[in-house]
Amino acid sequence: MAVPNPTLSRAVVEHLVRQVVYERLGKPLPRAAAAPNPLVVNVSARHCHLTPAAVEALFGPGYQLSVQKLLYQEGTFAAKETVTLVGPRSRVISNLRILGPLRGLNQVELAYTDAVSLGFDVPLRLSGNIEGTPGCMLMGPAGFLELHQGVIRARRHVHMSPEDAAFYGVKHGEEIKLKVGGPCAVTFDKLLVRVDKSVKLEAHIDTDEGNACNLRPDTPCELVK
């Protein structure tokens, strides 16, 4: 992967081009082009969010993460650093990516396929809602860290601004559908809407979901109620 990688996503470029083309043609905008912002759909591979104390326990005192790749949301990144996750039956995943910035709690997000291969029974949770979830052991170059809870499969969700929410007619905490086209077309129900004024329109699905519909950069996607 490039370091860092602020690539303009294909969905963003297409949205701009569509708007210009329809304007030149003097035709009314189709719904997708009339949306205030392009819809970017990204697949989140298994990863973890860590606290500063956790990074120090795993990598040593004063350790700072380095950026491997910038992510679509401002200020977020995939770190160069990974940790090894040890599951309940001593099975391991040796390349669990850390996502930055650091947070106030430790959380591991797995797809069900990862969970099955590790021997975990992980609950589907909204990110941040980890009460009563299973824990695991993390291993870094400088030490171990036992998490007593925090292993989840993240609920599929879409980040949007209040402007996007108004366009799609949804509110924070409601659900919308993500319709994915292409040869393996699938519509995902129960996409949780997360509204925040500082975010760009972006849907997050996991690797199981992304693989099920063979999501590619040119796969057409839309939000439908």
Where does this chain bind Zn ion (CB under 5 A)? Answer: 204
Phi first, then psi, for residue 45 (nearest 5°) are -75, 165
* Gap between the Cα atoms of 71 and 6, Å rounded: 8
CB of 183 to Zn ion, least distance (A): 26
Closest CB to Zn ion among residues 80, 200 = 200
| Distance separating alpha carbons of residues 116 and 67, to the nearest angstrom | 30
Q: How far is the CB of 204 from Zn ion (least distance, A)?
A: 4
Residue nearest to Zn ion (CB): 204
d(CA 33, CA 5): 26
Class of residue 160 by CB neighbours under 10 A (exposed 0-12, middle 13-18, buried 19+): buried
**Of 103, 105, 56, whose CA–CA distance to 81 is shortest?**
56
Structure tokens at 70: 């910038």
Identify which of residues 145 and 203 has a Cβ nearer to Zn ion in the complex: 203
Least distance to Zn ion from the beta carbon of 199, Å? 9
Strand runs labelled E in the chain: 40-44, 47-49, 67-70, 77-86, 92-100, 107-109, 124-125, 136-140, 143-147, 151-154, 157-160, 175-180, 186-195, 202-206, 221-224
From CA 78, how far away is CA 80, in angstroms rounded? 7
* Residue 141 Cβ vs Zn ion, minimum distance, rounded to whole Å: 28
CB of 159 to Zn ion, least distance (A): 6
Q: Could you tell me which residues are beta bridge partners of residue 84?
A: 139
Instruction: Tell me how far, at minimum, the Cβ of 41 lies from Zn ion, in Å.
Output: 11
Taking the least distance from each CB to Zn ion, the nearer of 46 and 204 is 204
Of 125 and 204, nearer to Zn ion (C-beta) is: 204
For Zn ion, the closer of residues 49 and 204 by Cβ is 204
Question: Which residue, 127 or 149, has its beta carbon nearer to Zn ion?
Answer: 127
